[in-house]
Homo-oligomer: A and B are copies of this chain.
Amino acid sequence: MATVTDTPIRIGVMGCAVIARTVSRAIDLAPNATIAAVASRSLEKAKTFATANGYQQSVKIHGSYESILEDPDVDALYIPLPTSLHVEWAIRAAQSGKHILLEKPVAMNVSEFDKIVAACEKNGVQIMDGTMWAHHPRTAKLKEFLFDSDRFGQLKNINSCFSLAVDEDFLKNNIRVKPNLDGLGALGDLGWYAIRAALFANNFELPKIVAASPGTVLNESGVILSCGASLSWEDGRTASIYCSFLANVGMEITAVGTNGTLCVQDFVIPFEETQATFTTCLKSGFNDPWVSRPTEHSVKTEIPQEACMVREFARLVGEIKNKGAKADGFWPNISRKTQLVVDAIKESVDKNCQQISLSGR
């Protein structure tokens, strides 16, 4: 952990997306990070964003992305740019020696992400994606239960979904439905989380086979608005995921193991900021399934999950900056695996739900 004498990691916000508001607040709340700068394609836009988000006077305002890359008072960049711009700007950030907190999906495809990671490795910078729920203390508790061979046993199936109904304006104008901006649509924006949950429950082992489910909905540009998929692993482990911009909120995980069951109703964004719950159910009987009733567990968090994310990112950056540590490999590794599954589902969607083998990827 960062000690109190360490200087907070100075983070620059590169792009003024809506999500950047949440992360700006998170940077403020994280004890080991501070907002140092903000950049937009126009100085005006960056200024407006800084004011709207109550940035301190000391925060530098940049009128171009190039300019923030050259700012010597910035250690790391938070990059919430449209996905299609990630490969260019994340690589340039790495080349400028900036550590990177990159919004998800991390790239348009895994080969782009591999280029980003190569640039980060070459320049000794940390990269982590913006999957907030991974950093909530609840997630550590979920992991504890899922990998408890007594209480949960071996995983058999996990179902995870993330849907949010958007409005007409979003469906026409939002970058998330534009093929040249966030061309992975709902799969990249929402499915990312559901896939991550499936991988998380499988200890980040890649599935053997991925198949899109029939019934994908595309917009007129071919961008996914809604889709589902099935994943399968060795030993009969399976997962199904669902994501949609067209359906009301759903953000569930249901995982069944040989001995236990886990349910989470709000895994992506908890109902409350200061605590989050999950339900477990222990060994049932065939003729009396509720011999053991579901139990609700509650996990408190000092700071919101997005601030936990920033704290972890800044901690890793601090290790490199202050102690000469090597960049951590866990986070980019799971980003890559998530992207691989996104890519495979997209490929299956494009091939009429054909089964895609992930062997060797």
A residues engaging B (CB < 8 A)? 18, 153, 156-157, 159, 161, 163-167, 170, 209, 211, 213-215, 217, 226, 228, 230-233, 236-238, 240, 242, 244, 246-252, 254, 256-261, 263, 265-266, 268-269, 271, 279, 281-284, 286-287, 289-290, 293-294, 353, 355
Contact = CB atoms under 8 A, between A and B. Distances in A.
A249 B217 contact: no
Given A213-B230, A289-B249, A242 B244 contact: no
How many copies are assembled? 2
B214 A286 contact: no
B246 A250 contact: no
13 contacts: A157-B228, A159-B161, A163-B256, A164-B286, A167-B286, A211-B211, A215-B230, A228-B240, A240-B240, A247-B258, A248-B260, A266-B290, A271-B290
B157 A284 contact: no
B281 A293 contact: no
Contacts of A254: 161, 250, 252
Contact of A294 (B260, B265, B269): B265
Contact of A215 (B170, B217, B232, B250): B232
B242 A215 contact: no
Nearest to A270: B290
Given A157-B163, A157-B226, A269-B289, 7 more contacts: A157-B250, A159-B161, A165-B286, A167-B286, A211-B213, A215-B238, A249-B281
Contact of A269 (B249, B281, B290): B290
